[in-house]
A and B are shown apart, each in its own frame.
Chain A
Amino acid sequence: MSTCGHAREHAEEYSMKELSQAVDTCARCGYCKVVCPTYPFGGGFETFSPRAKVHFLKDYYDGRAKLTPEWVDRLYRCTTCERCQSVCQTAIPLVHLWERARAEIVSKRLGPMPAHKKLRALAEEFGNPYGEPITKQSQWLLPEHSPTDQADILIFGGCTASYRMPPMLQIGVTILTRLGIPYAYAGGHEQCCSSPLLRTGQFETAQTLIERNLDMFADTGARQIATPCGGCSKTLKHDYPVWARKLGKPFDAEVLHFSEIYVRLIRQGKLKPVKRVEKTVTFHDPCHVGRSQGLFDEPREILAAIPGIRLVEMPNSREESRCCGAGGGVKANYPQMAAEIARDRVTEAIDTGADMLVTMCPFCQGSFTQAIKELDARIELSGLEGLLLESVTE
C-alpha cells in the first residue's frame, strides 16, 4: 500500500499552520526512515532519518529547538524523491515540509548550502543555473527541426536538456517533426523552470524566473507545454499554477512530460513502432516523473509497443523506485553522496541482467552516465525516446 497522492501537490498551498498540524499526526512508525535514500549516509544514526527530521521540526515549530548549522545541513541532505511521503501512514506532505523548512532556513539567512547559492547567482544572471549565455539555449536544435513562433504545443527544453544532456530533447522534437506535428519553441527566452530554486527553498529568485516564464507562455499562446525533463514537468505541472494565482498571471496550458505525448501518439495510431529492437531493458522511474506525477504506466506502455523489447523490472520499481541521487540540490552540494546513490541504483539495474538501463529524465541520465563510468559497467544507458526513435525509423 502507498499513501502517495494523499498530499496536496504544491508546497505553497500549505499554510505553516497546516504543516504544523500535519507534523502532529506523525505516527513515529519509521516507515520513512527505512526507504530514505540519504538516511544511510548519516552513520546509521536515527537523527538523519525523515522521522527524526519531522520530530525536530515539531520541536522547532513549538519553539523548543533551534535551527543549528547541523540541522540545516541535515535538512538539505534530501533529494526530495518523495519516497518518504509515499509510505507515510498519515500522509504527511513531507516533501512540502522539507521545502518549507528550507525556505525558512533561507529567510533566516542560515542557508542555502554553498552550491545552491551559486545556482541562484547563476540563475539570476543568466536565467539558467549552469551559467550558460542565453544565446546558446537553442543550440540543441538539429537542422531538421522546424519550430514556429506559435503553435498548440510549446517545447520547454529545460536547462539540463538544453545545455548539458540534449539527446532526449532532440529525439523527442525529431519525432514530432517527422510526424508533422507543429510545435513552438521560445529559444532564447526560456528561463530556468526554477525547480532547483524551489526545491532548495530559494523562493524569491524562483518567483522572478517563474514570472518571466509565465509571460513567455502567455505570449506564445500555447495550449500544451511539453518537456523531456522530470524536474521541469513536475514544477510546471504542480508549482506553476500556484505561482500563477499568486502573481495574478494566466496559466491554463496543459503541461506534458514527453512520455505522455508519446503514449497519446501511439494510442492514436500516429506513432507506430515497427522495427524490432532486440534488447532486454530495465526501466528506472524518475522520482519527479513517477511518484510526483504518477506516470508509471506510460513508459511501460511505450516500451511494450516497441517490438523486440523485453522489460525486466528492478526489485524497486514504480512507486517503490529508488532515487538517482540528483534531486533536491543534493548532486550540487553533496556530489559524493549523490554519486553513491546513483551507483547503488545502477547496480540494481545490472543485477536484473538487462542489457540496457532506460529512463526518461535528463537529470537521472546524467547521474547514471557518471555511475556507469565509475562502476566500469557494461550496461547500456538510453532515454526512452532513443528506443522509440529507433523503432519508428525504417
Chain B
Amino acid sequence: MTNLQACVQTLGEVATSDSQILRSYDHDLGEMPGVLMAMVNHTPQLVVAARTVDDVRRALELAARHGLPVTPRGQASSGYGGAIPSKGGMVLDLSNMNRLLSVDAVNATVDVEPGVIWEHLSKALAPHGLDNRVCPTSAPSSTVGGWFAMGGVGIGSLRHGSIRDNVLEIDVAGLDGSVHTYSGDEMEVFHQTCGSLGVVTRLRLACRKAEAMALFAAWFPSADRASGFLEGAERALAPYSASVQSAGYASMRGQADGHAPVIGDGFLVSLAIPRSDADETAVARLAEEHCGKPLPRDIAEAEWNGRYYPMRIKKAGPSALVGEFYIPLERFAACWNDIVTALPKDELGLEAFAVRGGRMAVLIYILDDAGTLLYPLRMAKAMIPLRIAARHGGGGYAAGMWFAGMAKRIFGEEKFAHAKARKDALDPHGLLNPGKLKGPGLPFLPFVSLSGLILFGTAVIAPLSARLSYTRPKAS
C-alpha cells in the first residue's frame, strides 16, 4: 500500500485521490499562463475535505508521517497562489468547516470555524444586533480563515483597519496534530503566511454594532481632489467605508452591465457612514471644498449594493490583468498619474479602498484575454503599477506564492525573520504550504526562486509589455 493509499484509507470519506477531483484543486482565482503553472507541481495527490478539527489534526499527522506537503485552502478566491500547491501533496479544503461556534453579544465578538463565509456571518450576526467590522469584496464566497491567511483590507477598513486588526484570537493546528491558541502579537506570524506555519481552525473576531448605513456618492475631477476629499472625510465624517473608482473602471462596468458609465470622466467616491454618525450637509460641504459634486442617492445605493461584484468587468474582458498595491493617501494622485503615463496604450480601470490611517488599497484593472498568444507577455503589465507605487512609498498587497519573493517587504523584515525562524523550528521539512514564505524553486534549478524569477522577468519585459495593448473584439 502506498503512502497515499494509506492516507485515504485512514481518513475515510473526507479524503480522495480521484484525479478528476484533484484537478479542481490545482488553481485559484488567478489566470496564470500555462508556462508559469508548469513550473510548480500544482496538482495535489490527495484532497481532504475536512469537516472537523479532528479531521484537520488527523490529516496533518498523516502528512507529517508520510512526508506529504499540505496546502490549506478556503475558497481559493484570491489570485496570489497561496492556496495552490507548489509541491503536490495534500490540499486541505477547509471550506466545509463553516460553523459559527459562539456569539458574545455583550463583548461583541464571535467565534467561527475558518470556512465560515463572510456574507453568511453577517446574516448570522444580525439577530444578535451585530455585524462584521470588515469584510472582503468577495464576501459572498470568501472565508474568514482564508482572508486572515492571505491578509487584506476591504469594506469597513476605513474605520476598522485590516482583517488582522479585527481578529482577537486563533486556534492553530500543527503538523504534530496539536492545537494551540494564540492572541495579540503571537498571532502575527500566522497572518498573511497562507498556513505555512499551521492551520487555523478557529478565529475570534471583533464585531460592530449592526447599523444601517447612510450612503453618499460624489464626483471629483481628479485623483488629487478625490484623495483630498478622502483625507478630510476620514478626519471629519466618521466614515465606515470609502471606495474610489476611475472613469475607466466605470466605463468597464458600464460595458459589462450594458449601460452608460455612471461617470464619464474624473473619479467617483462612494462613502458609507453609520446613520447615527452621518451628516449629509457636512459631506456635501466637504465635497464642494474639493471641487466635487454630490451624485444622486440612487447612484450611491447602486454602488453599495454592487460592492461585492467588482469582477463583473470581466464580462467585458474576458480576462483582466490586475495590479494591486497599497499607497499612502497623499501619494495616491501622483501614483495614479504615473501609472497612466506608463501605460498609455491601455484602458485602465482603478478601484481603491480607503484604509484607516491614510492609506489606500488600489486595484488597477486592464482588460485582456488569457487565451491569446501574447497574454503571457502582456501579463507583465500587471506589475508596472506595483513598481510605480513602490516609488511613491507604497508596497505589495499580499504575497501568496507568486509574489513570495516580496514577502520580506510586505510582511516587514522583523515579522519575516520571526516567521522564518518559526517555520524552521516547527516544520523543518517544509511540509506546511511549501513555497509560500520564500517562493518555490524552479523544477530543474531548485535554488532559483520562481517568485524571484517572476519579479525579475516582469521587470525586464515590462517596457515591452507596456507597448503591447490588447484590442478587444467588438461586442456582438
A interface residue numbers (CB < 8 A to B): 1, 3, 6, 18, 21, 24-31, 33-34, 43-47, 49, 52, 55-56, 68, 70-71, 87, 89-91, 315
Q: Is the CB of B93 within 8 A of A3?
A: no
Q: Is the CB of A21 within 8 A of B318?
A: yes
Q: Is B209 an interface residue (CB 8 A)?
A: no
Q: Is B246 an interface residue (CB 8 A)?
A: no
With A and B bound together, what is the CA distance between A197 and B23 in angstroms? Answer: 31
Q: Is the CB of A30 within 8 A of B141?
A: yes
Q: Is B188 an interface residue (CB 8 A)?
A: no
- For A29, the chain B residues whose CB sits under 8 A away are 29, 77, 138, 140-141, 311
Q: Is the CB of A44 within 8 A of B93?
A: yes
Q: Is the CB of A1 within 8 A of B20?
A: no
- For B13, the chain A residues whose CB sits under 8 A away are 43
Q: A1-B309, A24-B319, A29-B140 are in contact. List 6 more A-B contacts (CB 8 A).
A: A1-B308, A27-B311, A33-B141, A34-B140, A43-B49, A90-B256
With A and B bound together, what is the CA distance between A71 and B18 in angstroms? Answer: 12
Contact residues of B between 40 and 64, Cβ < 8 Å to A: 47, 49, 51
Q: Is B14 an interface residue (CB 8 A)?
A: yes
Taking the closest CB of chain B, its distance from the CB of A41, in whole angstroms, is 12
- For A55, the chain B residues whose CB sits under 8 A away are 24, 27
B interface residue numbers (CB < 8 A to A): 13-14, 16, 18, 20-21, 23-25, 27-29, 47, 49, 51, 75-77, 93, 95-96, 117, 120, 123, 138, 140-142, 256-258, 305-306, 308-312, 314-315, 317-319, 369-371, 476
Taking the closest CB of chain A, its distance from the CB of B113, in whole angstroms, is 13
A-B contact pairs, 12 of them (CB 8 A): A1-B306, A28-B27, A28-B76, A29-B29, A30-B77, A30-B142, A43-B13, A44-B96, A45-B21, A45-B47, A45-B49, A49-B24
Taking the closest CB of chain A, its distance from the CB of B129, in whole angstroms, is 17
Q: Which of A1, A34, A52, A71 contacts B141 (CB 8 A)?
A: A34
Q: Which residue of B lies closest to A33 (CB)?
A: B141
With A and B bound together, what is the CA distance between A89 and B96 in angstroms? Answer: 23
Q: Which of A1, A6, A56 contacts B305 (CB 8 A)?
A: A1
With A and B bound together, what is the CA distance between A56 and B256 in angstroms? Answer: 24
- For A18, the chain B residues whose CB sits under 8 A away are 476
**Known contacts A1-B306, A44-B93, A91-B315; A30/B24 CB under 8 A:** no
Q: Is the CB of A89 within 8 A of B314?
A: yes
Q: Which residue of B lies closest to A91 (CB)?
A: B315
With A and B bound together, what is the CA distance between A47 and B18 in angstroms? Answer: 10
**Known contacts A29-B77, A90-B315; A315/B123 CB under 8 A:** yes
Q: Is the CB of B14 within 8 A of A44?
A: yes
With A and B bound together, what is the CA distance between A34 and B138 in angstroms? Answer: 12
Taking the closest CB of chain B, its distance from the CB of A18, in whole angstroms, is 8
Q: Which of B20, B29, B93 contacts A68 (CB 8 A)?
A: B20
Q: Is the CB of A44 within 8 A of B314?
A: no
Q: Is the CB of A47 within 8 A of B20?
A: yes
Q: Is the CB of B49 within 8 A of A44?
A: yes
Q: Which of A31, A46, A91, A315 contacts B24 (CB 8 A)?
A: A46
